[in-house]
Amino acid sequence: MKQAGVKILVSSSDMAVVGLTEVLQRLHTIFRAANKLKATLKTHHPDLLILIDYPEFNLYMARIARRLQIPVLYYISPQVWAWRRGRVKKIAKRVDRMAVILPFEEQFYKKRGVNVDYVGHPLLDAFKLATRNSQPATRNPQLIIQNPVVGLVPGSRREEIRNMLPIMIRSAEILKIRYPNIKCLLPLAETIEPEFIDPFIRKSSLDIEVNQGDIYEVLDRCHIALVTSGTATLDTAIMAVPMVIVYKVTPLSYRIGKMLIKTSFIGLANLVAGERVVPELIQDEVTPERLADEALTLIENEHVREKMITKLHGVRKRLGEGGASEKAARIAAEMMKC
């Protein structure tokens, strides 16, 4: 948005947190941002408020907008279908229209009386269709075993990286004992400065290539990937790269989340597929040894790897045909009567 000329009042990266207890450390920043945006809505009274994910904060902003009679479009649904479904009532009261990006979300909201449109997933607009089938060398089992290329995708938030990157690196170091020619590629989110991950990289003996920019170009060179649960699992699924999904938060956040979350899987790739296509390691299961074992299976077992690739192609098909951004923009223009 900044590159497109949008004036950024508060950077979302300043408020980005993972886990429930971790929010407490950022409360001051979050309250300050809320007050600033509330004042902006009152002063400028925009023609439309577009909310993106981030439910607790955004539903508060929706309440303010409703009082000021500002129309609200919610683009990219919070995962209310996974936990705390009662928030749907707030959405129905405060949001004029929803634009959802996952195929099962449309029916979920329609059943609950929310004005909703399924627009498909914006990731399909973002990536270049450089299919792995056009590079048969990357599917060569001998090449994979001789020179495995492993993607390390630790997430886009600092907390995620602190939690997951050391474990990913250590698991790759275990793999290096068996595969001395192993190479690791790390697509770094644009929200993270390269200096932030330097200490993690310097401690390792691995050959780690860090790329900031196009995650799809990086994934297209990977034979397998170790991926923190989040949108990156869909990035990886779209590129049909076999992966292991990992997720770890503070013990208290995990205990609370386990009581609240109502889905069978945590990985978006598995949720879209409706089955466990990709192995998931959660909390205490996330150890370097366990992660290395799962990666080893994907490197050495051609049948398991090819079966997963086929299933991931199915995930991509279920995400729609693209054009999500254009459809969402059309809805926004319609709501502003442009």
CA 14 to each of CA 11, 21, 191: distance values in angstroms, whole numbers, following the listed order: 6, 16, 10
* 180 and 59, same domain (yes or no): no
Q: Is residue 80 within 8 Å of 55, Cβ to Cβ?
A: yes
Range of the domain at 62: 12-125+321-335
User: Is 306 part of any domain?
Assistant: yes
* 184 and 263, same domain (yes or no): yes
Q: Rounded to an integer, what distance in angstroms lies between the CA atom of residue 275 and that of residue 277? A: 6
- 7 token code pair: 């004036």
- Residue 142's pLDDT is 73
Q: What proportion of the chain, given as a percentage, has pLDDT over 70?
A: 87
User: Is 3 part of any domain?
Assistant: no
Tens of pLDDT, residue by residue over 216-249, are 989 999 999 999 998 899 999 999 999 999 998 7
* 163 and 179, same domain (yes or no): yes
User: Is 5 part of any domain?
Assistant: no
Identify the three-state secondary structure at position 224. strand
- Residue 25's pLDDT is 62
- Residue 22's pLDDT is 55
* 69 and 214, same domain (yes or no): no
User: Is 98 part of any domain?
Assistant: yes
pLDDT tens-place values along the chain, 338 residues long: 888 899 999 887 766 655 555 566 667 788 899 999 999 999 999 999 999 988 889 999 999 999 999 999 999 888 776 556 678 889 999 999 999 998 888 998 999 999 999 998 888 887 654 444 444 445 677 778 889 999 999 998 888 899 999 999 999 999 999 999 999 999 998 888 999 999 999 989 898 999 987 899 899 999 999 999 988 999 999 999 999 999 987 777 667 666 556 667 888 899 888 899 999 999 889 999 999 999 999 999 999 999 999 999 999 888 877 889 899 999 999 999 86
Q: Cβ-count burial of 31 within 10 angstroms (0-12 exposed, 13-18 middle, 19+ buried)?
A: exposed
User: How many domains is the chain built from?
Assistant: 2
Tens of pLDDT, residue by residue over 108-166, are 899 999 999 999 888 888 765 444 444 444 567 777 888 999 999 999 888 889 999 99
User: Is 1 part of any domain?
Assistant: no
* 37 and 106, same domain (yes or no): yes
On whether the pTM is more than 0.85, the answer is no
Give the distance from CA 60 to its chain's centroid: 23
* 95 and 138, same domain (yes or no): no
Mean pLDDT, the chain, integer: 87
User: Is 61 part of any domain?
Assistant: yes
* 310 and 325, same domain (yes or no): no
* 167 and 141, same domain (yes or no): yes
* 326 and 313, same domain (yes or no): no
Q: Residue 211 carries which side chain, given as an amino acid letter?
A: N
Give me the CATH number covering residue 24.
3.40.50.2000
User: Is 7 part of any domain?
Assistant: no
Q: Among all chains, which residue has been given the structure tokens 């909201």?
A: 109
* 161 and 95, same domain (yes or no): no
User: Is 4 part of any domain?
Assistant: no
* 35 and 159, same domain (yes or no): no
* 313 and 326, same domain (yes or no): no
CA 163 to each of CA 58, 120, 139, 210, 247: distance values in angstroms, whole numbers, following the listed order: 26, 31, 31, 18, 9
